[in-house]
Amino acid sequence: NAGVTQTPKFQVLKTGQSMTLQCAQDMNHNSMYWYRQDPGMGLRLIYYSASEGTTDKGEVPNGYNVSRLNKREFSLRLESAAPSQTSVYFCASSEMHAGGPEQFFGPGTRLTVL
Amino acid sequence: TQLLEQSPQFLSIQEGENLTVYCNSSSVFSSLQWYRQEPGEGPVLLVTVVTGGEVKKLKRLTFQFGDARKDSSLHITAAQPGDTGLYLCAPLYNFNKFYFGSGTKLNVKP
């Protein structure tokens, strides 16, 4: 099992450009998440998908859109990138346990917006 | 947004020393998770605590959930260089959403 995979690993954009970050999981999990991590801060939830066909906003959704293409894939789109979106982006999927969902994270995409 | 504080922000110690890091909030949580993140990688779940006062051990790591379920601590005994990383606490604030703290960055020197 590959777990959670993310592409690309690194990306540099100019202000105003668009791009899509891809995420896929092979663990048959229902829930998937997109987070961003900035220096000195923890992970902040951008969007969340409880199951195929549903998405919900997290803490910081402005400037982003998501698509839950199927159970395996959850993509994050930046329509018009801004320097404030320079960050490391993590995708995660989860399965339920007694204490709550256990999240499995991908390796991250490091995005720089110039 | 829940107010969540992790302390200390940074910790640099020698191999063999003990340490404790803290996660505090003014809110009550149904459960709380601790993750470790190594440079260039995503976080990895260490433990989930659910019951107030609960203590869980994972080899040299001891996790405690406060009686009022507002705070938690992680104690490491005889730290090793392999313990180096960013330790994140993540209380559950919705059925299946977590709020992550900013973390404690631990460096264990050989």
pLDDT grade for B30, boundaries at 50, 70 and 90? confident
A89 Cβ under 8 Å from any chain B Cβ: no
From first to last of its 114 residues, chain A has per-residue pLDDT tens of 679 999 999 999 999 999 999 999 999 999 999 999 998 778 999 999 999 989 999 989 999 999 998 999 999 999 999 999 999 999 999 987 776 788 999 999 999 999
pLDDT at B87 over 90: yes
Q: How far apart are CA A3 and CA B74, in angstroms?
A: 27
| The predicted structure's pLDDT at residue A47 | 96
CB A78 within 8 A of CB A11: no
> Taking the CB of residue A84, how many other CB atoms lie within 10 A of it?
10
Query: Distance (Å, rounded) from C-alpha A91 to C-alpha A112?
Result: 17
User: Residue B92 has what pLDDT?
Assistant: 85
For the four alpha carbons of B16, B75, A41 and B36, in that order, the dihedral sign comes to positive
Which chain B residue lies closest to A45 (C-alpha atoms)? B99
Distance (Å, rounded) from C-alpha A41 to C-alpha A95? 25
Average pLDDT over residues B21-28: 92
Q: In the prediction, which pLDDT does A97 show?
A: 74
CA distance B88 to chain A (A): 7
Please tell me the distance from the alpha carbon of residue A73 to that of residue A60, in angstroms, as a whole number: 21
Q: Do B96 and A100 touch (CB under 8 A)?
A: yes
Q: How far is residue B104's CA from residue B71's CA, in Å, rounded to a whole number?
A: 15
Rg of chain A over CA atoms, in angstroms?
13
Residues in chain A closer than 8 A to B42 (CB atoms)? 4, 90, 92, 105-108
- HEC assignment per residue over B44-92: EEEEEECCCCCEEEECCEEEEECCCCCEEEEEECCCCHHHCEEEEEEEE
pLDDT at A71: 95
Distance, CA of A60 to CA of A57 (rounded, Å): 8
User: Residue B1 pLDDT more than 70?
Assistant: no
Largest CA distance in chain A: 45
pLDDT score, position A67:
96
Q: What is the pLDDT of residue B110?
A: 95
| Closest in A94, A100, A105 to B42, CB measured | A105
Q: How far is CA B46 from CA B3, B25, B89, in A?
A: 22, 20, 10
Under 8 Å between Cβ of B62 and B55: yes
Band the pLDDT of B2: cuts 50, 70, 90: low
Tell me whether residues A35 and B100 touch, CB distance under 8 A.
yes
